[in-house]
Amino acid sequence: MLDKIANIELNLTRKNNKRNFRRKSFSEIYISRKMDSSDSLMISPAFKLLKNYGFLIKDFNKHSSEQYDLVINIEEFVFEVNLDTKRVVDRHELEYLISHKKELGKKNIKINVLTRTQISMDVKPTERIKLDALRFLFSRCYDLDITKELNKENTFALNNLLDKIYYGMLDEFTRINYVVVRFIDLVNGTKLVKKCGLNEHFNEAIFIKSIRPEATDENKN
């Protein structure tokens, strides 16, 4: 399998994937939370921001003014991120666990990709974010039939999966990061967007930490 990754061909077939994630409204999520009046006032513009860029919020937990858990759908992908505002400002980075499912025969294959991305506020999205490069990355994972977890022990293979799509991925995550950080600003009344910039000491602007496949039965979610 690693030999396949070392010889990635660019003519991999790109196939459409079914969007089979349950949609849950922003109001449903917040009705179940105990939020004070100042939080409630922030909800509407924060929700509108995500909606404008095509993000669908699945879950949101505010643990404190500095700690948040956010789960969103962007196109057919699920993004999970733990937001630590101190880390965002000090280290200028976010980590996402991105998952996607695909039906193969009688099984659903789920690929989980853990990424670390550099935050840069140089690019402000002007339209809905399209994930063509990310979709191509997952297509490679499926086509290469990755069956075991790839992690720091397989750095060469992980890096090779970004061949020819690195800058496309970088552009997509730069835009996603802007929206996520701006969302927290609207929820919390902060100005993280103004405090975030390119961290010149960070070697990789986007880095895949691990790829973990899962096989589930046809009827399981």
- Each domain of the chain, given as residue ranges in start order, spans 2-216
Task: Please give the Cα distance from 115 to 109 (Å, whole number).
Answer: 19
Q: Between these two residues, 125 and 181, which has the higher pLDDT value?
A: 181
What is the predicted pLDDT for the residue at 217? 62
Question: Which of 68, 33, 32 is closest to 186 using CA atoms?
Answer: 68
Handedness of CA 184, 20, 129, 93 (dihedral sign): positive
The string of DSSP codes covering 86-103 is HHHHHH-EEEEEEEEEEE
What's the whole-model pTM score?
Answer: 0.77
Q: Are 31 and 51 in contact (CB under 8 A)?
A: no
Whole-number mean pLDDT of the chain?
79
Query: Picking from 2-6, 59-63, 87-91, which range would have the lowest pLDDT averaged per residue?
Result: 2-6
Q: What are the tens digits of pLDDT across the range 141-166?
A: 988 888 889 998 988 999 899 999 99
Q: Are 215 and 148 in contact (CB under 8 A)?
A: no
Q: Between these two residues, 197 and 71, which has the higher pLDDT value?
A: 71
Q: Is 54 helix (H, G, I), strand (E, B) or coil?
A: coil
Please report, for residues 17, 45, 54, 215, the alpha-carbon distance to residue 50 in angstroms, rounded to integers and kept in the order given.
22, 9, 6, 31
Query: Which amino acid, 24?
Result: K
Residue 100 has pLDDT above 90, yes or no: yes
